[in-house]
Amino acid sequence: MSIETISYFIVMLGIAVALVAALVAFVFRVGKEIVKYFKLLRHKDNPVLSPPEYSDWEAVGTYNPAAVKDDQGNVHIVYRAIGADGMSRFGYAVSPDGKNFGDKSPYPIFVMQSPRKPGEQDCLPKFDPVIYPSGGSWGGSEDPRMVRIDGRIYLTLNAFDGWDFLRVAVSSIDEKDFFSKKWKWSRPIFISPAKEIHKNWVLFPEKINGKFAVLHSIVPKVEVEYIDNFNKFSDEGSFFIKSWCGPRISLPPRKSWDTWIRSQGPPPIKTDKGWLVLYHAHERNEFHKYKLGAMLLDLNDPTKITHSSVGPILEPDEWYENDWKPGVIYACGAVVKDGELFVYYGGGDKHVCVAHTPLNDLLESLIQV
């Protein structure tokens, strides 16, 4: 065999190796892009609830819905409503298919007063048209989350503490009363301390080692508090959950897409791959947008993150996600119905919206990373 022939085969072999390497790199890159751009599907008839024209208590906004499913598969939501008086209250609606909420309460089902005692300074709500602390209102309760545990429905919420602070409270109701629309809520119990800002704490949907589990932070680390009984919390006592306190945007920026994580969204969902947690985050170049990400927590130790989405699974691109407060997707509720994950979120701090996907598709996109 001549030197020219050998040289030719060497060159061709080199080309073949380069082509195979390029093909492998392409397939890998395309695979990563498929994972990166996994998205929830929006309901074609979004928004499913919007502020009605004639209803003072929800005239400004209906958004940020909590969600639970009953044994018949009906989806019940409790949503935040802002009235013409600027106060936040909770409304209610139910849907047999999780998308069409024609059965809706004509009045608020939960009203929260100021946690301060009568006579204390700053007890009454007040309004500053430029600086308001949270989501456009200036008193009441906001951003509910719900879970079913042992025959009761537990509601966590953010409550205004005067004007400058927010606290997390827990109320509950017998699920039979809830599903029959008898609003016999227990007295709200505050589980975060006064004179601090804490928001968006959620309960795991089942007890862990016989205790309630409160997911109260996911940055700078995942923090879970285990509680025997919520009655141990008292304004007269000193027992509160000690959580990281401060603006999340003051933390060092992350190197992933979720440069600044704001908070957890709906309560965790138990899957065979781990606890599924959806969360809100900002990207470095689009700080004005609230985007939705997903992560999996270890089933045995939920303070450990096992997988995270490499990109947002929902971004505020539709008109109803920019209608009032531009660039906001804010999820507070999620249920699994016939293998489909339904995510309930507020669009633009004004509308109730729904997005969905087969649960297994989302889980596969997470564990591939």
pLDDT averages per 10-residue partition of the chain, 369 residues: 54 50 44 62 98 92 97 98 91 97 96 57 43 59 96 94 80 98 95 91 97 97 96 74 86 93 97 98 94 98 97 98 95 98 97 98 92
Is 35:368 a contact under the CB 8 Å cutoff? yes
Q: Residue 177: its pLDDT value, please?
A: 98
Residue 25 lies in a domain: no
Residue 16 lies in a domain: no
Q: Residue 7: its pLDDT value, please?
A: 53
| Total domains present in the chain | 1
Q: Would you call 135 helix, strand, or coil by DSSP?
A: coil
Q: Residue 163: its pLDDT value, please?
A: 63
Closest CA to 137 of 187, 68, 64, 195: 64
Residue 134 lies in a domain: yes
- For residue 299, is it left (φ>0), alpha (ψ between -120 and 50) or beta? alpha
Domain that holds residue 56: 37-367
CATH number of the domain bearing residue 300: 2.115.10.20
Instruction: Give the Cα separation of 83 and 36 in Å (integer).
Output: 39
Residue 19 lies in a domain: no
Residue 11 lies in a domain: no
Residue 133 lies in a domain: yes
Which residues are bridge partners to 103 per DSSP?
A: 94
Instruction: Give CB contacts under 8 A, 24+ apart, made by 182-188.
Output: 183/109, 183/110, 185/110, 185/155, 188/112, 188/157, 188/159
Q: Residue 250: its pLDDT value, please?
A: 83
Residue 289 lies in a domain: yes
The amino acid at 151? G
Residue 13 lies in a domain: no
Q: Residue 34: its pLDDT value, please?
A: 44
Q: Residue 162: its pLDDT value, please?
A: 62
Q: Residue 127: its pLDDT value, please?
A: 46
Q: Residue 132: its pLDDT value, please?
A: 46
Q: Residue 99: its pLDDT value, please?
A: 96
Q: Residue 137: its pLDDT value, please?
A: 60
Is 340:357 a contact under the CB 8 Å cutoff? yes
